[in-house]
Structure 1
Amino acid sequence: MPDKPNDQSNDKPIEDVDFDLETSPLFPAQENVVKSDKLSPLVWISLAVLIIIALGVVFVLPTIVEEYELPLEKRVQVSPSLPGARPAQELGISPFELAQQAIHRKEAQDVLASLLELQADLDAIEVDSWGGEVYREAISFAEIGDGFYREQAFIEARDSYSQGLNALQNIIDTTPEVLVRLLQQGQIALEVLDAQLAAQYFSQALLLDIENSLAMAGLARAKTLDEVGGLISRAQTRYEGSELEAALELYEQAFSLDPQYTALGTNLNRVKQAITENEFSQIMSEGYALLENEQPELAINAFRQASNLGIRIEQALAAITQTENQISSREISTLQGQISSAEIAEQWAEAVSAYKEVLSVDGNLVFAINGKDYAEKRLRLDQLLEASIAAPERFADDEVYQQTLDIYYTGRAIEEPGDKLVQQLTTLQELLDSSQQSISVQLISNNETQVSLLRSGGLGLFQRQSISLKPGRYVLVGQRQGYRDVRTEFMVGFGQTPTQMLIQCDEKIIASRGR
């Protein structure tokens, strides 16, 4: 401040006072400070530095960011500010506004850095080859953000960068779906034998998942696909030329290279089916030829071999049935001839056996069922007649006689009997008739032996006696005290009647000592 003027009313001169600023107790040691209304030069220097920094942030930094932090595309060098732009002081921008701009610019830069990081990750997996329009749209958001950034519209730039960032993140999030699509497209390319396209899809899939087994397998298949396609083409040519075995060999070579090729398996089955069809037709033809040559058994073997091929089984079985029917018919015809001969000759045992053979061929044949029943009855009658004729002596028994008579009348009831039956009945009738005619038999004894006829009664003691007996077999028994019994069997009738029968006990029994 300026010194106050001296008081002019006091005439006394003022004595000079020596102020020693360094020694004065009121002013300790300090520098002299000159008070003045002017600002210090240091303040002006500080203000100048702050203004320069603010101008650098506003005008210089955007150019640096544009040149070094936005490598999305090659930029054209532009001036640090838009044409006609004026310094911040001229625009009247306050320091607060400058600070807000700096904050928004930093936010935009941070989002951009994240966007660039995602872009680098996607570039590493060649997103250009599979990202398509979605990727280009994401980049367009970043380019729009660049425009806002150049105009210092940092909020709009940040929002555009965020849209691009989100779009790129969505692309990364959808990589599993993209991987599936690439694998499917690769598989389709394999099926149409496009080795180059298949390799492209599977290679892209491996960029998304380097350890994906399906992609690795598909890429390996793509490497042999051209060779597989060549083999298939040659095989198809052989197949169309009916060279089935050659076609099969080529298809099998292709299958060994790529067993997963679906169409290849279909073609293999088609050729194998054609070969089997040819073999079936050939075997069936051989079977019918054997049948025509009267070799039905061999024909059946051929038809069975054809049925074992696994195709047209019903046709083969029908041929077997037809042949078996022919064989059966022929066998039955032969057996019918045997039956007829046996029945005419009244060889009923042979007829029964033949009927059984017919029924073994076809158990439902009515003629065989009925014929067997009749033949068995005739066989039984024949056996009874033969047994009766062979033992006429049994007729002496009334019961046996009656049974034999029933047999005789059973035979008589048969219409149109054969010569054998007629002869049997005639013989039996004679035996039956003669069995009822008594014959006189002379018995001789010693008048000391008790004689009896079994089943007839005692005859007593006699020396000579005549009795009448029906034809048959008889037994005389002689008994005498002290003598051994005697027993004599004889036949009456049928030309076997003895002239006389001696029955007496002559062997004396000697008693044992010591009894």
Structure 2
Amino acid sequence: MQGGKTANSDKISGWVWLALAVLILLALAVVFVLPRLVQEYELPLVKRAEPAPVVTSNTLSTPATPDISPFEEAQRARQRREAQDVLASLLERQSALDEMDVGQWAATDYEAALAAARRGDEFYRSGEFTQAALAYQESDMALSALQDKVPEVFNDLIAEGNSALDAPNSAQALDSFALAMRLDPDSQIAQQGFARAQTLDEVEALIASGEVLQEQGDLAAAQQQFEQAAALDSAHQRAAEQVASNRRMITDANYTAVMSEGFALLQQNQTDAAIAAFERALRIKPGSDEATEAIAQTREQLTLASIDELREQAEAFEAAEDWEQAVAAYDSALAMDSNLVFALEGRDYSARRLQLDRLLSVNIEHPERLSDQAAYDEAREVYGIGRDLEADLLAEQGTVGERLSQQLETMEELLAQMQIPVEVTLISDNATDVTVYQVGQLGAFAETTLMLRPGRYVAVGTRPGYRDVRKEFVVGFGRDLSSLTIRCNEEVAAVNRP
């Protein structure tokens, strides 16, 4: 029993010593091996620079020392941070340029910038942080230069896009404006150019269709095509030009048609209708010299025709000795043209003949007025003027108007009658006091006889207690008056009665 127990104890002691030996080896590894690995490598897993060989003495044992001093380690950390800062800027620029699709407009320069960055990576991995920073800085500056170039590239792309729109080349325009929007997403110019490029093919098709219709003479249909094109792209210069040009062609066509209508009416002597047509043409094309001149000429022609007509009317009235109508006709002609010589002379002559006609007519129609000496003298003067005119007409024309001849003959008879007294008997009652104006007071009588020149007279009878009597009478001029009774018969009050 005791022997078995001793054997088991020996077996257990052997395992304990084995475990203890392993633990001792692990402790030695932690103390001596791990610090050396920490000194040789750091994150990221970049191997440290090889340390200078450590000088050892065969005779003396010295404790192990670090490969790099704390100051040098701090410098390396600073250099690493500087390289990382430059790298951060570089990566930010790279990201911005990638969003701008830099490979489409600066592939070579961009690749060169990335090559510098890759060199920096190599330096960084080998722990050469200063060289890495320089390489990263070279790349960063190259990328910065590309960013500075963006406005220029943007403007070039806009120019290329506009040129493609004018070409027209919709595919090129779409590419240029799309890339321009990558450079500046907020650019209204780029957005508008891209929108125009999207409709370019349709716009060009509409313009081409309109031009065919225009050549075929269907201007209205062509106008619809051009206006649709302009509505799709209001900035399309050729569409706008075609809209304006075709509209002018429509205006010119309408204008020409209306002017032709006016001239046709003019040839048919429909002057009023022709003027109306020319005025419509002037409304179609305001300020047209041709339409304005046509209106003026037509009105002048119409005026001349009206003047000729009035001249014929005036001459006809003169021949008929209707001087009042002749004067009116000449006045109408002068209203159209105040410098018409024939109208000026004709009106003057007709006016004088009208005055003479009226003076002769008033004496012939009212011969009793000739009993007044002044009127009689005036009538004789008018009669003399008429006879002088008659002689002139006979000398110039060999004839005298019938109306003037009759007037002069009648006037001659009237003037002659005025020189022949007419016997008139007045009858009264020996009680009435009679007075005859233009003759004198005759007093009371039963009957008396007077020799009176033709004319108008007034007889007045008065008698106390009776109402006065007044009688007007005409002597001569074909009036049959041999006697006139004048007495006061109407008693109005008793006088001196007992």
Q: Please indicate the TM-score interval, normalised by the length of the shorter structure.
A: 0.7 to 0.9
Aligned residue in 1 for 2:14: none
Q: Which residue of 1 aligns with 2:290?
A: 315
1:367 deviation in Å? 3.0
| 1:240 counterpart letter in structure 2 | E
* TM-score of the aligned structures, taking structure 1 as reference length: 0.74
Q: 1:496 Cα deviation (Å)?
A: 1.8
Quick one: structure 1 residues 310 and 135, their matched pair in 2 at CA, closer, same or farther if it must change by over 3 Å? farther
Q: Which moved more, 1:342-351 or 1:198-207?
A: 198-207
| SS of aligned partner of 2:329 | helix
Which sections of structure 1, spanning at least 5 residues, go unmatched?
1-41, 65-79
CA contact (8 A) 2:330 2:346 kept: yes
Separation (CA, whole Å) in 1 of partners of 2:351 and 2:35 = 142
Match of 2:300 among 312, 316, 325: 325
Higher helix share: 2
The count of residues paired between Structure 1 and Structure 2 equals 448
Instruction: Say whether 1:294 aligns with 2:269.
Output: yes
Tell me what 1:14 maps to: none
1:95-149 CA distance string (max 9 Å, x none): 4456434423321221112111221122123233345777567556646756876
Task: State the 1:393 CA deviation.
Answer: 0.9
Q: Which moved more, 1:166-175 or 1:317-326?
A: 166-175
Matches within 5 A, 1:57-456: 87-89=50-52, 95=69, 96=71, 99-130=74-105, 139=114, 142=117, 154-155=129-130, 157-159=132-134, 161-162=136-137, 164-166=139-141, 168-169=143-144, 171-172=146-147, 182-183=157-158, 185-210=160-185, 212-310=187-285, 313-412=288-387, 414=389, 415-416=392-393, 418-456=401-439
Shift in Å, 1:175: 5.2
Is the partner of 1:496 in helix, strand or coil? coil
Structure 1 residue 491, shift from structure 2 partner: 0.9
Secondary structure (helix, strand or coil) at the match of 1:224 reads helix
CA contact (8 A) 1:392 1:435 kept: no
Indicate whether 1:462 and 2:445 are aligned. yes
Query: Mean alpha-carbon deviation: is it higher for 93-102 or for 318-327?
Result: 93-102
- Contact 2:278–2:291 (8 Å) recurs in 1: yes
Q: Secondary structure at the match of 1:473?
A: strand
Aligned to 1:18: none
CA contact (8 A) 1:54 1:98 kept: no
How far 1:89 sits from its partner (Å)?
Answer: 2.1
Distance in 1, Cα, partners of 2:300 & 2:139: 87
Moved more, 336-345 or 419-428: 419-428
For 1:479, the aligned partner's letter is T
How far the C-alpha of 1:250 sits from its partner, in A, is: 2.9
Which amino acid is the alignment partner of residue 310 of structure 1? K
The more displaced of 401-410 and 228-237 is 401-410
Q: 1:447 to 1:225 in 2, by over 3 A?
A: same
The CA deviation string for residues 55-91 of structure 1, in whole angstroms up to 9 with x for no partner, is: 546xx96x96xxxxxxxxxxxxxxx89xxxx945279
Report if aligned partners of 1:238, 1:246 keep a CA contact under 8 Å in 2: yes
In structure 1, C-alpha distance between the alignment counterparts of 2:381 and 2:108, rounded to whole Å: 116
Contact 1:491-1:497 within 8 A present in 2 as well: no
Residue deviations 1:131-181, cap 9 Å, x none?
Answer: 577756755664675687688765465355345435544655675676566
Bigger CA drift: 202-211 or 220-229?
202-211
**2:477 counterpart residue number:** 494
Q: Is the 8 A contact 2:423 2:482 kept in 1?
A: no
Deviation of the 1:259 alpha carbon: 3.9
Q: Distance in 2 between matches of 1:239 and 1:116?
A: 60
Q: Deviations over 1:195-216 (max 9, x none)?
A: 2222223323433454555544
**Aligned-residue offset at 1:221:** 3.5
Cα distance in 1 for partners of 2:342, 2:125 equals 116
CA separation in 2, counterparts of 1:131 and 1:457? Answer: 140
Aligned to 1:72: none
Q: Given the superposition, is the C-alpha separation of residues 212 and 470 from structure 1 closer, same or farther in structure 2, using an over 3 Å criterion?
A: same
Deviation (angstroms), 1:477: 0.6
User: What corresponds to 2:468 in structure 1?
Assistant: 485
- 1:283 and 1:306 in contact (8 A); partners too: yes
**Quick one: structure 1 residues 404 and 120, their matched pair in 2 at CA, closer, same or farther if it must change by over 3 Å?**
same
- Describe the superposition over 1:262-307 as per-residue Cα deviations: whole angstroms up to 9, x where unpaired: 2112112222222332232233223222222222222222222222
Find the counterpart in structure 2 of residue 15 from structure 1.
none
- Cα gap change, 1:463/1:346 in structure 2, threshold over 3 Å: closer, same or farther? same
- Paired amino acid for 1:109: Q
CA distance in 1, matches of 2:115, 2:355: 115
Distance (whole Å) between structure 1 residues aligned to residue 237 and residue 219 of structure 2:
20
- State the distance in 2 between where 1:51 and 1:272 align: 93
5+ residue gaps in structure 2? 1-27, 55-66, 394-399
Q: Which amino acid in structure 2 is aligned with residue 380 of structure 1?
A: Q
Q: CA RMSD in A?
A: 3.8
Report the CA distance shift for 1:456/1:253 in structure 2 as closer, same or farther (over 3 A). same
2:255, 2:285 within 8 Å by CA — same for their partners in 1?
no
Q: Distance in 1 between matches of 2:457 and 2:234?
A: 101
Shift, 1:498, TM fit: 1.4
The structural deviation recorded for 1:464 is: 2.3
The alpha-carbon distance between structure 1 residues 370 and 140, as it changes in their structure 2 partners (threshold 3 A), is: farther
SS class of match (2:256): helix
Give 1:346's aligned amino acid.
E
- Counterpart in the other structure of 2:15: none
Moved more, 349-358 or 106-115: 349-358
Q: Distance in 2 between matches of 1:137 and 1:435?
A: 142
Alpha-carbon contact 2:465-2:494 (below 8 Å) kept: no
Whole-angstrom CA distance in 2 between matches of 1:350 and 1:167: 107
